[in-house]
Amino acid sequence: MDYYLQIISNIGIFITLTLSLNLINGYCGQFSLGHAGFWGVGAYASAIYGVYFALPVDPMINMLISISVGFSAAALCGLLIGVPCLRLKGDYLAIATIGFSEILRIIIMHTESVGGPRGFTNIPKWTNSFWVWGIVILTTIFMLNLKRSAFGRAIISIREDEVASETMGINLFRFKLFSFIIGAGIAGIAGALVAHDQQFLHPNNFNFMWSVCILVMVILGGQGSVSGSIVGAIILTLLPEILKLIGSDISVWRMSIYSALMIILMLTRPQGIFGPHEIFEKKRFAKKLQKGAA
Amino acid sequence: MSLLSIKNVTMKFGGLTAVRDVSFEVGPTDLIAVIGPNGAGKTTLFNTITGIYTPTEGSVTLDGSPINTKKASDITKLGIARTFQNIRLFNNLSVIDNLKIARHTRIQYSFFDGIFKTKKYKVEEAAIIEESIRLLKLFGLEDKKDLLAKNLPYGAQRKLEMARALATKPKLLLLDEPAAGMNPTETKELSNLIHFIREEFKIAIILIEHDMNLVMQIAEKIFVLDYGNLIASGSAKEVQSNPKVIEAYLGAEIDVEAH
Ligand SMILES: Nc1ncnc2c1ncn2[C@@H]1O[C@H](COP(=O)(O)OP(=O)(O)OP(=O)(O)O)[C@@H](O)[C@H]1O
Ligand SMILES: [Mg+2]
């Protein structure tokens, strides 16, 4: 039973992470490869709150505070990295964000008060699947409503064409930074969830490989699609569990399977499962596309 | 008073001077054409007016206030809109979304209104859709409103780009080679459309164009650029008989043939 609950929580945590990266990568078109870094900052910040600064109040209130701490810490990192790095384009931004997340991991690795390489233990258990899925629902609504507002449209136009976007009166830097900060912040919330759910953190849980995994989830579902992020996260969180059932040693195979999956995807459906669209508009769009081709 | 005033504008790229010491004035409902051989600096001039580039020297003022150091996005807000020589639509978005994005600087509702879908958000979004459809009707694109921009035929893409520029509610509209790639019928239609836009929206229009028939037909005033210099300006007749202009064009033609 516990095992299945754990998987259900994990799926929710990865959906939150994928949705948050989808804002940066799918909506805004910025190639960030350090998302696990923001996740880690959120996780360690809320764990620090839980272990050293917890208030003598109801765990529910403490969890709310801890989520805010995780969000703020990660969003602050997003701001600090975003300001210098968002002026970089494409691959350069990817390299800068990898650099940031690796530096961060190494700092944590060498900080004794958060357990260093042994991991951070004794984090209070303040959360459960309900919290996780509550956050998933809120994040989903946020992302969908953002997409349908002028602010979301502005962000998406940056992905489509930066020069045209600017000529429409959109302040590129402001909206890129906004996406980066909010995307990082929500990854930080996922960090708070994982910290108080598993009660144990290890710096290697937030390494480069995990950034790639989250990115693969976004791309599999379809960059820019909320439905896609959700489906992508579910598939790729369940896949290792299924492989485990058949008895393979997943830690060895995970990266090879992801790579193979990416290659197949790029060859057969480069836009991902949903493209930039949502599940509820899928049929309508298919019709429109046909009309357009006719 | 003039709407746009350009004084001694120079734009250098390293050793290359793409626009040299150009000055002119544009009135509130002028219809002006900028012509000149390839590489004369016409697009660069547009880029310095719209803030894509900051002029190396000189000043650009709109309604009396300087804009030459402002960001492109702020200049749009102040009332200059443009189209691009190589169409730049938001290709993977629908036709109507392309127009909705253009309303960005005129949005009144806050971020929180958008996230919580308040009444204010709903009322304003409904108005945006209504206005966008009205614009699409003017351009004969309303039946294509849900198509992706990239699936439109070429002529319709050019029209959509003009509609999108107008959706920003400009005082001055800059069109970079709107007739490029169009056949004579489409070009004729375009010239009517440009006239119509000026009457309907009461704005000034500057267009860059290689199609001399179109230019002679619609422009009240013509500026001729050659190697970045403003070599002539005036009515179609005056410009046509100007020896410098003839030389620039003949020279350019000989150049082309030499290649
Ligand atoms: N960003 C840039 N960097 C360097 N040189 C540039 C840049 N933009 C334009 N130029 C140069 O400036 C000159 C003028 O270019 P511009 O595009 O303004 O010409 P144009 O009059 O619009 O020509 P066409 O009719 O071919 O569109 C050209 O020599 C071009 O190579
Ligand atoms: Mg040009």
CB contact under 8 A, A167 and B105: no
Q: Quick one: pLDDT at residue A275?
A: 84
Compute, in angstroms, the gap from residue B27 CA to the centroid of ligand 2.
23
Name the minimum distance, in Å, from the CA of B121 to any CA of chain A. 8
The two three-digit tokens of residue B96, written as one number:
């109507």
Q: What is the C-alpha end-to-end distance of chain B, expressed in Å?
A: 46
Instruction: Give residues 125 to 144 of A whose Cβ lies within 8 Å of B.
Output: 142
| Domain ranges in chain B with CATH number 3.40.50.300 | 4-79+170-258
The reported pLDDT for the residue numbered B81 is: 97
pLDDT averaged over chain A? 90
Task: Report residues whose beta carbon is within 6 angstroms of any ligand 1 atom.
Answer: B 13, 16, 18, 36, 38-44, 85
* Residue B34 pLDDT: 95
Contact A224, A26 (CB under 8 A): yes
> Measuring CA to CA, how many Å separate B70 from each of A205, B47, B52, B57, B73?
45, 12, 10, 14, 8
Surface of A (191-220) touching B: CB under 8 A: none
Query: Which pair of tokens denotes residue B173?
Result: 């509209």
Query: What atom in ligand 1 is closest to the CA of residue B19?
Result: 14
Rounded CA separation A19/A196 (Å): 20
- Phi, then psi, of B79 in degrees rounded to 5: 120, 25
Is residue A188 less than 8 Å (CB to CB) from chain B? no
Superfamily (CATH H level) for B4-79+170-258: P-loop containing nucleotide triphosphate hydrolases (3.40.50.300)
Backbone angles phi, psi at B24, to 5 degrees: -165, 170
User: Averaged over A209-235, what is the pLDDT?
Assistant: 94
- Distance of alpha carbon B45 from alpha carbon A105, whole angstroms: 49
Say if residue B136 is exposed, middle or buried (CB neighbours under 10 Å; 0-12, 13-18, 19+). buried
Out of A280-289, B119-128, B176-185, B236-245, pick the least confident. Answer: A280-289
How many residues are there in chain B? 259
Composition of chain A by helix, strand, coil, percent to 5: 80, 0, 20
pTM: 0.91
State the pLDDT at residue A285.
53
Using 50, 70 and 90 to split pLDDT, how confident is the model at B129?
very high
Q: Which residues pair with B9 in a beta bridge?
A: B22
Give the model's pLDDT for residue B237: 84
B93 and A CB contact within 8 Å: yes
Q: Mean per-residue pLDDT for B107-135? A: 95
Number of H helices, E strands in chain A: 12, 0
Give the mean model confidence (pLDDT) for residues B252-259. 46
Q: Whose CA is nearest to atom 11 of ligand 1?
A: B18
Size of interface A-B (CB pairs under 8 A): 101
Give the up-direction half-sphere exposure of residue B111: CA atoms within 13 A in the CB hemisphere.
10
B56-68 average pLDDT score: 94
Q: Among residues A105, A123, A126, A287, which one has the least CA distance to residue A205?
A: A105
- Best of B10, B12, B13, B83 to mutate for ligand 1, by most ligand atoms within 8 A of CB? B13
Average pLDDT over residues B239-251: 80
At residue B236, does pLDDT exceed 60? yes
Which residues from chain A sit within 8 angstroms of residue B114, using beta carbons?
145-146, 148-152
ipTM of this predicted structure: 0.90
Confidence at A281, pLDDT banded by 50, 70, 90: confident
- Tell if the CB–CB gap between A160 and B91 is shorter than 8 Å: yes
pLDDT (average), residues A164-170: 96
- CA separation for the pair A234, A231 (Å, rounded): 5
The domain spans of chain A are: 2-207
Say if residue A186's pLDDT is above 80: yes
Distance, CA of B136 to CA of B129 (rounded, Å): 10
Q: What is the pLDDT of residues A100-136, one digit of tens each?
A: 999 999 999 999 999 888 999 899 999 988 999 999 9
Q: Beta strands B221-226 and B31-35: pairing type?
A: parallel
Using the mean position of ligand 1's atoms as its centre, give its distance from the Cα of residue B228 in Å: 9
What confidence score (pLDDT) does residue B257 get?
42
Confidence of residue B239 (pLDDT cuts 50, 70, 90): confident
pLDDT value of position B202:
94
Between residues A92 and A18, the one the model is more confident about: A18
> Measured between alpha carbons, how far is B9 from B18 in angstroms, rounded to an integer?
10
Contact A182/B at CB under 8 A: no
Stretch (H or E) spanning B131 = helix B119-138
Question: Per-residue pLDDT for B96 more than 60?
Answer: yes
Q: Going by C-beta distance under 8 Å and a sequence separation of 6 or more, which residues neighbour residue A252? A: none
Whether chain A has a CB inside 8 Å of the CB on B86: the answer is: no
pLDDT per position as a tens digit, B165-199? 999 999 999 999 999 888 888 899 999 999 999 99
Q: What is the mean pLDDT of residues B72-96?
A: 96
